């Protein structure tokens, strides 16, 4: 059986955007004391942290979320297996241009056993209506290093079902690295090499949508002119060299509400399967696709040492209840202990209690926090940020928590196996079902 791919285009107006200059004074407070207390320490955003970039961004130059005609052409590495344009209903949908072709023309067969982030149920859900597991400090996997946060590298993380990748970067000798607090403590290599691994996975998984959250560890550093040393602009080159650009989704607004986000199918059809946020020093004028996290998402307290894991808004400070309810949110659920190393006061993962922290129920568990957040906010968190995602009350319990939040059944093998990446030589009926579903959805 030939693998037939429906090359669908369009989303006809669904996202044809009205540019939205977005400044929400209410989501920033300009006061607020600042203390750097640990590995992930980052203060509440203050205007002075990003004077160069804040409140200037509009998307007018990038009003078309599907990108320019050329933006994916360069990645086409082999011929499409088969192209079928879909005719049905009263409307014919035909391929136009190159901008939507990336997922289907790169020659990659879907490796996943289940499309739409392992749950076909998600295909028709908005990106903002799904709970995903986030690997906290995803690159930091060094064995026997107290600064490590994960056991497995990013490819395995993604294979196991992690769909948000967070990590802290530092600029050293003109190059961005993923380093934990300091590159002397734990240097996980360049941002580019990490992103290349991510890019390879994305290319090979055309039915998955992932999110990258950049932690700009140098957000307070200034250059000789007193401007921020590291902003969104510094990340463009690593993303480009890693081959990720063709897959990056360009949202129509700098501040997306829950309603604004497209469904997974819409993202998959367009081949725009990577969503990128940065925590500090965004510059949406220069780099419109790198969204400011805190215009779009709020977080519960970070680097917690409190096993009660309150589900309150920590960053950005001063967010109104209404505004909070219209944004994505992330539950920080990595438990830390304080230690002293070489005069530095650090927060490092509490690995001893992982069986509880990443577990389904009981005090301090991820499951309890997810339930608490759901009852506090009327919907579950979009992202569950955890250390050592593979550990828990059983291996894979963090994914069980997410599945329960999503009202779906978790039945993947976990963790660290290549289970979701074992190549399919022919598409399963599930994959074909998905393609049909996407097609039908487009025609309605
Ligand atoms: C597409 O790329 C070609 C050559 O690289 C360039 O001449 C053309 O202006 C580009 N078009 C757009 C719309 O970017
Ligand atoms: C699509 O990309 C190819 C190769 O880069 C180019 O020759 C062609 O003109 C593009 N088509 C459109 C409609 O831009
Ligand atoms: C998705 O939307 C449904 C219906 O509004 C809601 O019950 C559910 O909690 C939402 N899930 C997430 C993760 O937002
Ligand atoms: C930066 O440069 C210094 C001096 O050449 C060198 O000692 C150090 O290892 C470099 N750091 C990194 C992370 O490459
Ligand atoms: C919050 O939203 C409700 C309805 O959604 C509205 O009635 C109310 O005025 C809003 N409050 C503020 C402070 O914006
Ligand atoms: C977690 O592990 C510790 C030490 O191995 C054990 O004492 C404790 O009972 C475990 N807790 C649960 C809920 O499994
Ligand atoms: C978690 O739930 C299981 C099954 O319902 C129960 O046996 C166990 O005692 C619970 N653990 C805690 C710590 O509440
Ligand atoms: C989970 O897997 C890791 C290694 O992948 C192992 O060390 C751990 O004991 C396993 N069990 C639990 C309950 O997390
Ligand atoms: C959960 O899914 C089942 C079907 O699988 C459905 O009957 C039920 O209404 C869903 N619950 C919620 C809260 O969406």
Of 362, 395, 397, best ligand 8 pocket probe by most atoms within 8 Å of the beta carbon: 395
Distance between CA atoms of residues 255 and 58, nearest Å: 10
Reported confidence tier of residue 6, pLDDT bands at 50, 70, 90? very low
Q: Is the pLDDT of residue 314 over 50?
A: yes
Closest CA to 106 of 290, 243, 264: 243
Q: Range with the lowest mean pLDDT among 37-41, 170-174, 214-218, 323-327?
A: 37-41
- What structural domains does the chain harbor? 38-63+111-424 (3.20.20.190)
* Residue where the block lists tokens 């028709």: 124
State which of 46-55, 104-113, 128-137 shows the largest mean pLDDT: 128-137
Q: Is the pLDDT of residue 10 over 60?
A: no
Residue 132: its pLDDT value, please? 98
Of 322, 324, 325, best ligand 5 pocket probe by most atoms within 8 Å of the beta carbon: 322
* Residue where the block lists tokens 């799904």: 130
Give 278's strand partners. 214, 292
Number of helices (H) and strands (E) in the chain: give both, helices first. 11, 16
Residue 394 CB–ligand 8 contact under 6 Å: yes
* Distance set, CA 370 to CA 300, 373, 399 (Å): 12, 5, 12
CB 437 within 8 A of CB 123: yes
Distance between CA atoms of residues 120 and 214, nearest Å: 28
DSSP output for 361-427: SSTT-HHHHHHHHHHHHSS--SEEEESSTT-SSSTTHHHHHHHHHHT-------SSS-GGGSPPSS-
Cα 344 to ligand 3 centre (Å): 42
Task: Tell me what percent of the residues of the chain surpass a pLDDT of 70.
Answer: 68
Cβ < 6 A, ligand 4 pocket: 172-173, 177, 183, 187
pTM exceeds 0.85: no
Distance between CA atoms of residues 122 and 130, nearest Å: 7
Residue 147: its pLDDT value, please? 82
Residue 146: its pLDDT value, please? 80
Q: Range with the lowest mean pLDDT among 101-110, 136-145, 203-212, 325-334?
A: 101-110
Q: Is the pLDDT of residue 76 over 60?
A: no
- The residue from 170, 180, 205, 333 that is catalytic is 180
Closest CA to 210 of 116, 293, 125, 140: 116
In the DSSP assignment, the letter for residue 184 is T
Residue 362 CB–ligand 7 contact under 6 Å: yes
Distance between CA atoms of residues 97 and 10, nearest Å: 10
Q: Of ligand 6's atoms, which has the minimum distance to the CA of residue 359?
A: 13
Distance between CA atoms of residues 107 and 96, nearest Å: 19
**351 φ, ψ to 5°?**
-85, -20
Could you report the per-residue pLDDT of 332-354, keeping only the tens digit for each?
Answer: 999 998 887 667 777 888 988 99
Residue 351 CB–ligand 8 contact under 6 Å: no
Closest CA to 137 of 279, 244, 274: 279
Residue 321 CB–ligand 5 contact under 6 Å: no
Q: Range with the lowest mean pLDDT among 3-17, 263-277, 428-442?
A: 3-17
Residue 358 CB–ligand 8 contact under 6 Å: no
Q: At a CB cut-off of 8 Å and minimum separation 6, what does 1 contact?
A: 426
Token pair, residue 205, equals: 């998984």
Q: Of residues 306 and 100, which shows the higher confidence score?
A: 306
Residue 340: its pLDDT value, please? 77
Mean pLDDT of 120-148: 93
Closest CA to 128 of 270, 330, 285: 330
The ligand minimizing its distance to the Cα of 188 is: 4
Distance between CA atoms of residues 17 and 59, nearest Å: 9
- What sign has the CA pseudo-torsion 350, 352, 354, 357? negative
Token pair, residue 359, equals: 């577990």
* Distance set, CA 387 to CA 97, 162, 306 (Å): 42, 11, 15
Distance between CA atoms of residues 18 and 279, nearest Å: 25
Residue 322 CB–ligand 5 contact under 6 Å: yes
Q: How far is CA 202 from the centre of its chain?
A: 12
Residue 381 CB–ligand 3 contact under 6 Å: no
Mean pLDDT of 270-288: 97
Reported confidence tier of residue 417, pLDDT bands at 50, 70, 90? low
Q: Range with the lowest mean pLDDT among 20-29, 206-215, 253-262, 413-422?
A: 20-29
Q: Is the pLDDT of residue 118 over 50?
A: yes
Of 61, 66, 70, best ligand 1 pocket probe by most atoms within 8 Å of the beta carbon: 70
Closest CA to 416 of 393, 388, 437: 388
- The 8 Å CB, 24+ separation contacts for 233-240 are 233/283, 233/286, 233/287, 234/171, 234/176, 235/169, 235/176, 235/191, 235/278, 235/287, 235/290, 236/287, 237/192, 238/176, 238/190, 238/191, 238/192, 238/195, 239/195, 239/276
Residue 361 CB–ligand 7 contact under 6 Å: yes
> Which residue's CA lies nearest to atom 7 of ligand 3?
379
- The residue from 136, 170, 205, 333 that is catalytic is 136
Q: Is the pLDDT of residue 16 over 60?
A: no
Q: Of residues 339 and 260, which shows the higher confidence score?
A: 260
Q: Is the pLDDT of residue 419 over 80?
A: no
Q: Of ligand 7's atoms, which has the minimum distance to the CA of residue 360?
A: 1
Whether 180 is a known active-site residue: answer yes
Q: Is the pLDDT of residue 306 over 60?
A: yes
Cα 356 to ligand 6 centre (Å): 7
> Which residue's CA lies nearest to atom 9 of ligand 1?
70
Q: Range with the lowest mean pLDDT among 33-37, 321-325, 425-429?
A: 33-37
Residue 141 CB–ligand 8 contact under 6 Å: no
Distance between CA atoms of residues 244 and 287, nearest Å: 14
Q: Is the pLDDT of residue 202 over 50?
A: yes
Residue 437: its pLDDT value, please? 58
Q: Of residues 181 and 43, which shows the higher confidence score?
A: 181
In the DSSP assignment, the letter for residue 52 is T
Whether 170 is a known active-site residue: answer no
Cβ < 6 A, ligand 2 pocket: 69, 73, 97-98
Q: Of ligand 6's atoms, which has the minimum distance to the CA of residue 393?
A: 14
* Distance set, CA 117 to CA 101, 264, 341, 390 (Å): 20, 9, 39, 17
Mean pLDDT of 414-419: 67
Q: Is the pLDDT of residue 5 over 70?
A: no
Mean pLDDT of the chain: 75
State which of 67-71, 118-122, 376-380 shows the largest mean pLDDT: 376-380
């Amino acid at each position: 059986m030939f693998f037939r791919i429906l090359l669908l285009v369009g989303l006809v107006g669904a996202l044809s955007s009205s540019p939205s200059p977005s400044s929400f004074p209410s989501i920033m407070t300009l006061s607020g004391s600042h203390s750097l207390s640990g590995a992930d320490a980052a203060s509440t955003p203050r205007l002075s942290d990003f004077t160069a970039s804040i409140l200037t961004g509009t998307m007018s130059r990038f009003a078309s979320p599907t990108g320019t005609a050329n933006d994916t052409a360069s990645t086409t590495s082999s011929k499409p297996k088969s192209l079928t344009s879909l005719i049905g209903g009263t409307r014919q949908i035909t391929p136009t241009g190159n901008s939507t072709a990336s997922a289907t023309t790169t020659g990659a067969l879907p490796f996943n056993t289940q499309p739409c982030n392992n749950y076909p149920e998600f295909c028709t859900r908005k990106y903002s209506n799904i709970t995903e597991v986030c690997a906290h400090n995803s690159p930091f996997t060094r064995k026997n290093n107290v600064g490590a946060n994960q056991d497995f590298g990013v490819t395995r993380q993604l294979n196991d079902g992690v769909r948000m990748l967070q990590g802290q970067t530092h600029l050293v000798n003109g190059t961005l690295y993923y380093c934990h607090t300091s590159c002397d403590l734990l240097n996980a290599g360049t941002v580019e090499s990490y992103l290349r691994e991510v890019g390879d996975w994305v290319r090979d998984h055309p039915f998955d949508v992932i999110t990258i959250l950049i932690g700009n560890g140098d957000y307070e550093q200034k250059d000789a002119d007193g401007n921020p040393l590291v902003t969104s602009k510094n990340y463009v080159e690593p993303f480009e060299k890693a081959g990720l650009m063709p897959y990056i989704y360009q949202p129509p607004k700098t501040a997306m509400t829950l309603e604004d986000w497209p469904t997974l199918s819409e993202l998959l059809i367009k081949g725009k399967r990577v969503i990128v946020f940065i925590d500090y020093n965004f510059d949406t004028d220069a780099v419109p696709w790198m969204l400011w996290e805190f215009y779009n998402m709020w977080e519960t307290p970070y680097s917690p040492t409190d096993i009660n894991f309150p589900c309150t808004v920590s960053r950005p400070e001063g967010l109104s209840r209404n505004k909070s309810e219209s944004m994505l949110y992330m539950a920080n659920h990595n438990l830390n202990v304080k230690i002293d190393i070489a005069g530095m006061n650090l927060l490092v993962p509490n690995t001893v209690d992982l069986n509880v922290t990443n577990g389904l129920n009981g005090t301090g568990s991820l499951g309890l926090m997810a339930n608490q957040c759901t009852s506090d906010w009327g919907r579950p968190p979009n992202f569950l940020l955890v250390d050592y995602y593979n550990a828990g009350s059983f291996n894979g319990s963090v994914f069980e928590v997410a599945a329960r939040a999503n009202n779906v059944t978790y039945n993947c093998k976990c963790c660290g196996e290549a289970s979701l990446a074992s190549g399919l030589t022919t598409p399963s009926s599930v994959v074909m079902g998905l393609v049909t579903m996407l097609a039908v959805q487009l025609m309605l």
